[in-house]
Structure 1
């Protein structure tokens, strides 16, 4: 049984429909890449999954429970951790305060996050607003982990970062995959990096699922058609 399952999801922003039938499945402990060109519905799919935008049609199941109509705070409490696009750290708070504010009981605490991202320990007393973009991204990931989720969703976690920081973020995602058993849904544009960490891919085109399968079966013709510029 799928750990996360989206079936026929439709959603809209007011009168403008954005999703026209998104189907997605993710097994417990699996890493799935959600892919597609800009504006194809990836972030909207994440917003609907997390209860931040209501679905007009379709069904979302998480660990066998229907969460389609649940508000975002209840989805989070069920074990869905989100690293949003744009980081959205609490700027006036210190690194440690950002992490503690999100904390829930479990193996992920300040020390565990610091082992994954040692720079956060070095910056623990600095305000988030003073951090570099890469450090803020590490903080956003750490904050999501501090909720001790069973599903981690990363929306463009490496966008706009320097290459050296991107490598650190991808290394951390690889560590999470290898050592934690977390289910991970990741949105990113780097096919090469996604191929290293993801088990399967789901591709969206104009708000609908157009391809799904293992990363090994993601052929050049598919990527050129749905991911090429």
Structure 2
């Protein structure tokens, strides 16, 4: 039984259909790269999995439990931890307050988050609004970890960040992977995401068109489905 299974998802924004049968699965401890060109349904798939944009058709299960009818907070309590695109830290709270606001007893402690991201420890009492983009991304990941996720979902984990900061984020992701945390990652840095992934799923116009190991994402596949 897979940790997460999403089958045949069809989702809409108003009258416009965005997903046309998207499917993916993630095993315990596995890192899955969700790939595709801009506008192909990656974020919508994540929103469907999280219950933020429930699919009209299809099925999502987590740990063997059907998630139909469960809200996003209920899904989070089951162990789905989302780091959304755009970070969405609470700007008028300190780093420490951001980390504690959603913390759960089974989640990561403040000390453990700061060990993963030492910069957050250095800026513990600093307002989130004053952090750099990379520091805010670290904070968003740390906040998700304090909820104790079984699956960490990263939507554009390094978008818009400087190369050195991207390296820090990917180092942290590889560390989480080594600890056995299951990860679903969306990112535009192809070399990094392929280097971290166990399997890849590619979406095209809201449908799954490829599933396989990173080494199967050949230049031909990249050109056909990723526009590279």
Band the TM-score falls in, shorter-chain normalisation: over 0.9
Contact 2:144–2:152 (8 Å) recurs in 1? yes
Is the 8 Å Cα contact of residues 9 and 59 (structure 2) preserved in structure 1? yes
Which residue in 1 is equivalent to 2:200? 201
**Equivalence for 1:148:** 148
Q: How does 1:170-209 map to 2 (within 5 A)?
A: 170-178=170-178, 180-209=179-208
Q: CA deviation at 1:217?
A: 1.6
**Structure 2 length-normalised TM:** 0.98
Partner in structure 2 of residue 42 of structure 1: 42
> Matched residue of 1:100: which SS?
helix
CA contact (8 A) 2:107 2:145 kept: no
Q: Is the 8 A contact 1:55 1:68 kept in 2?
A: no
Contact 2:34–2:42 under 8 Å retained in 1: yes
Any unmatched runs of 5+ in structure 2? none
**Alpha-carbon offset, residue 190 of structure 1:** 1.3
Where does residue 164 of structure 1 map in the other structure? 164
Return the alpha-carbon distance in structure 2 between the equivalents of residues 19 and 167 of structure 1. 32
Q: Deviations over 1:98-143 (max 9, x none)?
A: 0000101125110000000000000000000000000000000000
Encode CA deviations 1:59-117: one digit per residue, 9 max, x unaligned: 00100000032110100000000000000000000000000001011251100000000
3-state SS in 2 of match to 1:81: strand
Match of 1:21 in 2: 21
**After the TM superposition, which residues 60-209 of structure 1 pair with which residues of structure 2 at under 5 Å, given as runs?**
60-106=60-106, 108-178=108-178, 180-209=179-208
Q: Which runs of 4+ in 1 moved over 6 A?
A: none
Q: 1:148 to 1:107 in 2, by over 3 A?
A: closer
In 2, the alpha carbon distance for the partners of 1:228 and 1:171 equals 27
Report the count of equivalent residues: 228
Q: Which ranges in structure 1 are unaligned for 5 or more consecutive residues?
A: none
Counterpart Cα distance in 2 of 1:37 and 1:69: 30
Deviations 1:153-194 (A, max 9, x none): 00001000011100000000010011x211100000111001
**CA gap 1:214/1:91 in 2 versus in 1, 3 angstroms:** same
2:21 is paired with a residue whose SS is strand
- How many angstroms apart in 2 are the aligned matches of 1:148 and 1:78? 9
* Alpha-carbon distance in 2 for matches of 1:214, 1:107: 30
- 1:210 match: 209
Local SS of the residue matching 2:91: coil
RMSD: 0.8
Using the alignment, how far apart are the partners of 1:36 and 1:75 within structure 2? 25
**Partners of 1:83 and 1:140 within 8 A in 2:** yes
Q: In structure 2, what is the Cα distance between the partners aligned to 1:217 and 1:196?
A: 12
